[in-house]
Every structure is written in structure tokens, then in C-alpha cells.
Amino acid sequence: MPLLTAWAPGRVNLIGEHTDYSGGLVLPAAIQLGIAVRVEAVAELVTLSSDTFGDSEPFAPNGDGPAVSGWARFGQAVARELDQLGRPPVGLTATIASNLPAGVGLSSSAALEVAIALALCAIAEFELEPLELAQACRRAELRAVGVPGGILDQAACVLGEKNAAILIDCSTLAYRSVAVPAAAALLVVDSGVARSHEHSGYADRRNELEHAMSTDLADLDPLSQRRLRHIKTENERVVRFADALASNDLQAAGRLMSASHASLRDDYEVSTPELDELVTLAEQAGVYGARLLGGGFGGAILALVNASAAAETGAALVRAYRGTARAITVRPSGGARVDSAASNRKAPSPAPFE
Ligand code: GLA
């Protein structure tokens, strides 16, 4: 029997893509798939092992010492960030299980960071506010793999709510939930082209945006104008999308998703031919709307579909796509949590892609 299990979900972002790192608006939902860290014992070092990811080298509970390699880099970086916030240096031995596909745009690295952070905090009886923990994990990602992400993924992971998306203002971290109508299903279709923002153009886009934002309007080159136009129009779409959901207008919400995709493709230039193909196929199949999911450069699309047609539409897209796609329907679900031994949940079942 483990001492405790920390669980953290992946996320989809309904709309508001590449807006987080300039203090804009995002509207993510945590999903039912995630990563579980089962803490077996308190120990001198932090030792993480996983059937899903493989074994890893142990590291010191304050994250100090030689950098470990592979996926445990995230754990070591989290330990380092928590140490800076005052977490007592308590080690642990834990096993990690996941049913959240990696490299698809469902934020598996944020789920891993948050689950490890929750386990490290719980075992040391150290408490942080959810958004403080999320910010420590965002800094850990930069420390571990040099990806200068915004707060979207980690915030969605800790704030998730059943049947709702979370509207977050990334400049103040103020947030509120927006109910997702029961008639709407969220269909994720993976293009089969994996991407990692460690090697994608993600950091380039962030630099281009920072350059554009610090340039006088009169001196803006065409590329900077396109980058800024995406941010401005995407922030407007987030507000209109939240209104559309609140008034149960799925047609309007879907049109905004498709407009978001066009803007990410043409103005922000983070799409790929495979993602464009899947979005076009989804639109032809009669979804309300579809767009690339997460940072882009590969990974998956998200389609807003009538709940009664979700499975059928997913299967049709997989058949029609020229590559090897996988489809799954995700549900807005609760955020990360810790279960004590008494209420321990079972390890997640294997990845449910069809
Ligand atoms: C990645 C990053 C997020 C966000 C999205 C794009 O998922 O981790 O912070 O910038 O891309 O919206």
C-alpha cells in the first residue's frame, strides 16, 4: 500500500493559444487522463521509477547535485524550485504511471511536474497555493529543458474542474470557470507527428513576439505585424468563445475555433500540413469547429463536436487522414490532487486512444 498517490491531469486548451506568455487570455480544461505518482516510502534521496517512462537516476531532495538525464530532469528541477520556496528536503521512493500520451499537445510534461511537486510537498508536509505550485512547475520546465513556456499548462492542471473550462487572465492569474455544455464533446485527433518544444520553433515565436511588442508601431515589419495580429485577435476570440459557451451557442464557438486555427496557421505560423489537413477533414465532417491544439509544430487538433457524433466523427477522421491518426474524446475533469493511503485510487489504465 503506497503512503500516498499524487495525480495530475493533462489538458486541452479550448481557445487562446500562444497568448499566455504575453499576459493574454486562455481557456483550458483539465482532462480525465493523467499521471500518477505513488509514493512507497520516505527516503534519503528521490528515486522515481516507471513502467511507462523507464527507471531514472536518484537525485537529492533539494534538487542539488549533478544533473540527471531523461524524464527525471523534470523531477529534479521541480525539487530545486520547491527548495527555493522553503520545502524541507525530504526524499521519497515512488513509482509513476501514466495514461496520458506524450508529444501530442496534452501537456504531459506539466502533468509530470505537477504530480511530482504534489508528492514532494505532501511527503514533507509543505503547503503551497495551487497557483504557486503551478508557477514553480513552470519555472522547473524552463530549468529542466529550457522551454520558456507560459503558465497555461500548469495552471490548467491545478485548476481543472469537472464539466468546465477555466478562463484565465495570464497577466493577473485571475480565473473563473465556464461550463462546457453537455451537448458538446471535445475530440482530440493526433496527427502522428510528435513534437517537443525543446526542439520546435516555440522559443523563436516567443522571441519574435517580444521583439514585436517592444518595437514602435511605425517601425513594425510585416512578420511582427502578423505575430501581433494573432495575439490581438486571439484574445478577442477567447472572450467571444466564453460568451458563446455561456449562451449554449456551439455553432458560434466552433466558428471561433476555426478562426483561431487560421490565425495560428497564417499569422503565427505554428501549424503543419498534417494539422491543416486534419482541421479541413474535421470541418468537412461537420464538426462545429477545429483547431490545432497547444503549441503546434505537430501533435494534435481539437474539434468541438456534437456529443452524439463524437466517436463516429473520430473514426471517420482516422480513416480519411493520409497518415496514421488516433482519435480520443476527452472530458473536462477535476484538477491535480493527492490521495492519502486510505483513499488510494488505482493506477490509471493504459492509454485509451482508439
Ligand atoms: C505550450 C506551452 C504553453 C502555451 C502553449 C500555446 O503548450 O507550454 O505555455 O504557450 O504552448 O498556447
DSSP assignment of 158-218 equals HH-BTTEEEEEETTTTEEEEEEPPTTEEEEEEE-S----TTTSSHHHHHHHHHHHHTS-GG
Has residue 340 got a pLDDT over 90? no
Q: Is 332 in the pocket of ligand 1 (CB under 6 A)?
A: no
- Under DSSP, is residue 352 helix (H, G, I), strand (E, B) or coil? coil
Has residue 103 got a pLDDT over 90? no
Q: Considering the candidates 153, 221, 249, 276, report the single residue annotated as catalytic.
A: 153
Q: Is 155 in the pocket of ligand 1 (CB under 6 A)?
A: no
Q: What is the pLDDT of residue 348?
A: 52
Which pTM does this prediction carry?
Answer: 0.95
Per cent of the chain over pLDDT 70 is: 96
Cα within 13 Å of Cα(347), Cβ side? 15
Tell me which of 263 and 147 has the higher pLDDT.
Answer: 263
C-alpha cell at 299: 501533435
Residue with cell 482516422: 318
- Under DSSP, is residue 309 helix (H, G, I), strand (E, B) or coil? helix
Has residue 42 got a pLDDT over 50? yes
For 15-36, what is each residue's pLDDT tens digit?
Answer: 999 999 999 999 999 999 999 9
Q: How confident is the model at residue 354 (pLDDT cuts 50, 70, 90)?
A: very low
In the reported structure, the alpha carbon of residue 188 is separated from the centroid of ligand 1 by a whole-number distance in angstroms of 17
Cα within 13 Å of Cα(225), Cβ side? 6
Has residue 305 got a pLDDT over 50? yes
Q: Is 153 a catalytic residue?
A: yes
What average pLDDT score do residues 41-49 get? 97
Residue nearest to atom 8 of ligand 1 (CA): 149
* Spatial distance between the Cα atoms of 142 and 203, rounded to a whole number of angstroms: 11
Q: What is the pLDDT of residue 349?
A: 52
Atom number of ligand 1 nearest to Cα 147: 8
Secondary structure letter of residue 71 according to DSSP:
T
Asked if residues 7 and 133 have their Cβ atoms less than 8 Å apart, the reply is: no
Residue with cell 492509454: 351
Pairing of strands 300-306, 326-330: unpaired
Per cent of the chain over pLDDT 90 is: 91
What average pLDDT score do residues 304-308 get? 97
Mean pLDDT of the chain: 95
Has residue 353 got a pLDDT over 60? no
Q: Is 296 in the pocket of ligand 1 (CB under 6 A)?
A: no
In the reported structure, the alpha carbon of residue 178 is separated from the centroid of ligand 1 by a whole-number distance in angstroms of 20
Q: What is the pLDDT of residue 346?
A: 52
Among the ranges given (148-152, 276-280, 292-296, 339-343), the one the predictor scored with the smallest mean pLDDT = 339-343
In the reported structure, the alpha carbon of residue 195 is separated from the centroid of ligand 1 by a whole-number distance in angstroms of 13
Has residue 64 got a pLDDT over 90? yes
Has residue 283 got a pLDDT over 50? yes
Atom number of ligand 1 nearest to Cα 110: 8
In the reported structure, the alpha carbon of residue 88 is separated from the centroid of ligand 1 by a whole-number distance in angstroms of 31
Which residues touch 280 (CB under 8 Å, ≥6 apart)?
A: none
Residue nearest to atom 2 of ligand 1 (CA): 149
3-state secondary structure 116-166: HHHHHHHHCCCCCCHHHHHHHHHHHHHHHHCCCCCCHHHHHHHHCECCEEE
Residue nearest to atom 1 of ligand 1 (CA): 295
First to last CA, the chain: 32
* Spatial distance between the Cα atoms of 10 and 92, rounded to a whole number of angstroms: 24
C-alpha cell at 15: 481557445
In the reported structure, the alpha carbon of residue 152 is separated from the centroid of ligand 1 by a whole-number distance in angstroms of 6
Which residues touch 74 (CB under 8 Å, ≥6 apart)?
A: 109, 112, 113, 116, 140, 141, 144, 145
Q: How confident is the model at residue 199 (pLDDT cuts 50, 70, 90)?
A: confident
C-alpha cell at 87: 520545502
Tell me which of 210 and 198 has the higher pLDDT.
Answer: 210
Among the ranges given (212-216, 314-318, 345-349), the one the predictor scored with the smallest mean pLDDT = 345-349
Among the ranges given (42-46, 190-194, 300-304, 334-338), the one the predictor scored with the smallest mean pLDDT = 190-194
Q: How confident is the model at residue 198 (pLDDT cuts 50, 70, 90)?
A: confident
User: What letter represents residue 315's amino acid?
Assistant: A
Q: What is the pLDDT of residue 342?
A: 61
Has residue 345 got a pLDDT over 60? no
